[in-house]
Amino acid sequence: MNPVENIVEVTVFTAEMFVVLSPILFLSFGIVLALLLIAWQRSQKMIAVFSQVILVFTLLLSIHLLSGNILSGEGVQITTLLKVDQFSYLSLSLLCLSALAVVSLSGQALKSQIEVHDEYYLLILLVTLGAAILVASDHFASMFLGFELLSISLVGLVGYFREHKYAVEAGFKYLILSATASSFMLLGIAFIYSQTGNLSFAVNSAAMSWSPVPLQLFNSVGILLFFSGIAFKLSLAPFHFWAPDVYEGAPTPITLLMATVSKVAMFTVLIKCCFSQGYYNNEYFIDVIIIVALLSMFVGNTLALKQQNIKRLIAYSSIAHFGYLLIILLISSEQSIDFAWQSALFYLSAYILANISIFTIVLAYEKQLSQNGQERDVRIDDWQSMFWHRRTEAVLLVVSILSLAGIPLTMGFIGKFYLLNQAVISQSWWLVSGLVIGSGIGLAYYLPIIFTVFKPSEKNMLKSHHPKGVLVARPRIFITLLIIISFYLGVFPDSFSQYIM
Amino acid sequence: MTEIPLTHVLILSSLLFIIGFVGVVVRKNTLFMLMSLEVMLNAVGVAFIGAGSVWQEADGQIMFMLVLTLAAAEIAVGLALLIRMQRRYRTLNIDVLNQMKG
């Protein structure tokens, strides 16, 4: 690097920025260290512990910075590319939390294979880094880089168990899906750039009214393409092809990673972009959002009705959940941005917590099945009479299913309440009715799971499905902890929502 | 040299993009699907460079470089998957990849 550039960087990059950016810097540094660690010694146990340590530290750093008073109000702009505010820290903590859960849950899924799986953990860390860049980005270029880091690492992870029956299929479908998504998004960015002349989020595209009519058309098409690119990644309704297949074919911890880290990061960046570009003033865009949201609620909930495979069911239900979340984008004015962020983050936290809980149990049962010599996905029937044999897990499952369904005294209910409030404030009655009807249909597939859990076992059923004491100490503590957190946050949501404010 | 209007560049890139997208949707051979993806990404590149030259900025060209890097990375992963597919199914036809239903 020549000296002139050096001087420029020193003036641009202050110590405060280093502090603000430290979680992301730490994460990237950790990835480099992990690479060196692999070069030094290939040991799966070591890399697993190491990546957990990195994620825990990143989580602690971001929580520390969130509670500290470094960020007052507007947030800190770090060059033109990144902007970190309290909401980015909060979603970063959520991301680290879910990545941590994925890493901790992966151990047993990997055990059945003989090789050393260094790359697996490395890829998870890279996905987390991509997501972290996404939530901090304030520029289309940095957003694009985070997006690709996230997608390409995820493609590798989806097809990770190469000998698995569906590995190639799921991997290839995800590759095509994410490549199509990124080209749609990029074309959208190119169109927006051709009109605004600036790639930063902060430039308000609504102000660009000087250009002639055909060019304004390109701007609208650009916004639409950009949104549909992100909608592909969030698997919203008209863009949801293959998403359930990918969920089913991916290794189960990776399904959790896709359902949480990737979606939360994408949704955060979507909110960030829409709010700072002022798309909520664009009536045309709002109509599109309403249609996509309604379609997602309807399609997700209806297709989930007849699913027996848990992973597919979660896939369809997540389509519906992100349909509900789109309500957030319809804010009426700039004053309500903070409230919209709070609602979104609360709902996302509830969603993440419920998903982590459900997948913990799915993985425990998958392990059980593979010990019985059956390599297949967990179906709802496998959970029959769970309550009478494995009580702690059953309680956790019931709580998280209720939370997803949005029954009172769970986090999910409060989240839905926030969303309903948003929809009423923005007076979009279509979305209000969509949310209500969607939740009603949702009960039709959530409640049967609970019925199955409580159903007494039939005589001919193998007892070996639910042997007692199969859980070693660590998962049991984890599960108990999850139950306590879910209950606590469900009954006292204030303790968490104050934290968001 | 006469200047090319921005609209023409954008229309060209949209046409290229549509050709690529149709290719991804219609083609049965996975190798050609990957190639169509490349066409889509290059269409984006045309739009970026056209827009960058209108605004007299380097941003568009830098974005194009990033897009190229992405294309390379994506094709690397895609070809690796393709080799797995060829080994496993002895064909590159996308129709063999429809075992998951439900």
Which H, E and C letters describe A5-45, residue by residue?
Answer: HHHHHHHHCCHHHHHHHHHHHHHHHHHHHHHHHHHHCCCHH
Please indicate, yes or no, if residue A162 is contained in any of the structural domains: no
Predicted local confidence at residue A10, as pLDDT: 44
Q: Are A216 and B6 in contact (CB under 8 A)?
A: no
- Best of A145, A158, A174, A186 to disrupt the B interface (most B CBs within 10 Å) is A186
Test A183 with B20 for CB contact under 8 angstroms. yes
Please indicate, yes or no, if residue A343 is contained in any of the structural domains: yes
* A94, containing H or E segment: helix A86-111
Please indicate, yes or no, if residue A402 is contained in any of the structural domains: yes
Considering CB atoms only, which of A171, A187, A198 is closest to B44?
A: A187
Chain centre to alpha carbon of residue A166: 23
Test B84 with A170 for CB contact under 8 angstroms. no
User: Which residue segment(s) compose the domain that A300 sits in?
Assistant: 282-501
Question: For the purposes of burial, counting CB atoms within 10 Å of the CB of A500, is it exposed (0-12), middle (13-18) or buried (19 or more)?
Answer: middle
Which chain B residues have a beta carbon less than 8 Å from that of A198? 59
Test B81 with A170 for CB contact under 8 angstroms. no
Predicted local confidence at residue A92, as pLDDT: 94
| DSSP string of A394-412, one letter each residue | HHHHHHHHHHHHT-TTSHH
User: What tokens appear for A126 in the block?
Assistant: 């890279």
| DSSP string of A437-486, one letter each residue | HHHHHHHHHHHHHHHHHHSPPPTTS-GGGS-TT-S-HHHHHHHHHHHHHH
Please indicate, yes or no, if residue A431 is contained in any of the structural domains: yes
Q: What is the pLDDT of residues B26-54, one digit of tens each?
A: 999 999 999 999 999 999 999 999 999 98
Specify which residues A82 forms β-bridges with. A78, A137
CA atoms in the 13 A half-sphere facing the CB of A70: 22
- Best of B44, B55, B66, B85 to disrupt the A interface (most A CBs within 10 Å) is B44
User: What tokens appear for B99 in the block?
Assistant: 């075992």
DSSP symbol at B94: G
Q: Is A139 helix (H, G, I), strand (E, B) or coil?
A: strand
Tell me how far apart the alpha carbons of residues B11 and A195 are, in angstroms, rounded to a whole number. Answer: 14
Compute and round to an integer the Cα radius of gyration of chain A. Answer: 22
* A83, containing H or E segment: strand A82-84
Specify which residues B93 forms β-bridges with. B29
User: What tokens appear for A245 in the block?
Assistant: 């297949």
Predicted local confidence at residue A71, as pLDDT: 64
Predicted local confidence at residue A56, as pLDDT: 96
Considering CB atoms only, which of B54, B57, B67 is closest to A186?
A: B67
Q: Are A83 and A76 in contact (CB under 8 A)?
A: yes
Does this model's pTM top 0.80?
Answer: yes
> Per residue in A429-446, is it b (16+ CB within 10 Å) or e — as a string?
eebbebbeebbebbeebb
Tell me how far apart the alpha carbons of residues B50 and A74 are, in angstroms, rounded to a whole number. Answer: 34
Domain boundaries, chain B: 28-90
State the total domains in chain A.
Answer: 1
Tell me how far apart the alpha carbons of residues A238 and A319 are, in angstroms, rounded to a whole number. Answer: 10
Test B24 with A176 for CB contact under 8 angstroms. yes
Q: What is the pLDDT of residues A429-485, one digit of tens each?
A: 999 999 999 999 999 999 999 999 998 877 545 555 554 445 555 677 888 888 888
Q: B28-90 maps to which CATH number?
A: 1.10.287.3510
Give the residue carrying structure tokens 């549509």.
Answer: B18
Compute and round to an integer the Cα radius of gyration of chain B. Answer: 17
- In 3D space, the residue among A461, A315, A317, A483 whose CA is nearest the CA of residue A382 turns out to be A461
Q: Are B52 and B59 in contact (CB under 8 A)?
A: yes
- Best of B7, B10, B18, B98 to disrupt the A interface (most A CBs within 10 Å) is B10
Q: Characterise A365 by phi-psi region: left (phi > 0), alpha (psi -120 to 50), beta (else).
A: alpha
Using a CB–CB cutoff of 8 Å, tell me whether B91 touches chain A: no
Considering CB atoms only, which of B21, B44, B63 is closest to A141?
A: B63
Please indicate, yes or no, if residue A471 is contained in any of the structural domains: yes
CA nearest to B47 within chain A = A190
Test B81 with A168 for CB contact under 8 angstroms. yes
Per-residue pLDDT of chain A (501 residues; tens, 9 = 90+): 344 444 444 446 778 888 888 999 999 999 999 999 999 988 888 899 999 999 999 999 998 888 876 666 677 888 888 888 888 999 999 999 999 999 988 887 777 666 778 889 999 999 999 999 999 999 999 999 999 999 999 999 998 888 888 889 999 999 999 999 999 999 999 998 988 888 888 775 555 555 566 677 888 899 999 999 999 999 998 888 889 999 999 999 999 999 999 999 999 999 999 888 878 777 888 899 999 999 999 999 999 998 899 999 999 999 999 999 999 988 877 778 888 998 999 999 999 999 999 999 898 888 888 877 777 788 888 888 888 888 888 999 999 999 999 888 888 999 999 999 989 988 889 999 999 999 999 999 999 999 999 988 775 455 555 544 455 556 778 888 888 888 888 888 888 877 766
Is ipTM beyond 0.90?
Answer: yes
Using a CB–CB cutoff of 8 Å, tell me whether B56 touches chain A: no
- B102 falls in which pLDDT band (50, 70, 90)? low
Phi, psi of A112 (to 5 degrees): -70, -15
First and final CA of chain B: distance in angstroms?
59
User: What tokens appear for A279 in the block?
Assistant: 């798309």
Test A190 with B33 for CB contact under 8 angstroms. no
Tell me how far apart the alpha carbons of residues A297 and A323 are, in angstroms, rounded to a whole number. Answer: 5
User: What tokens appear for A34 in the block?
Assistant: 């992990």
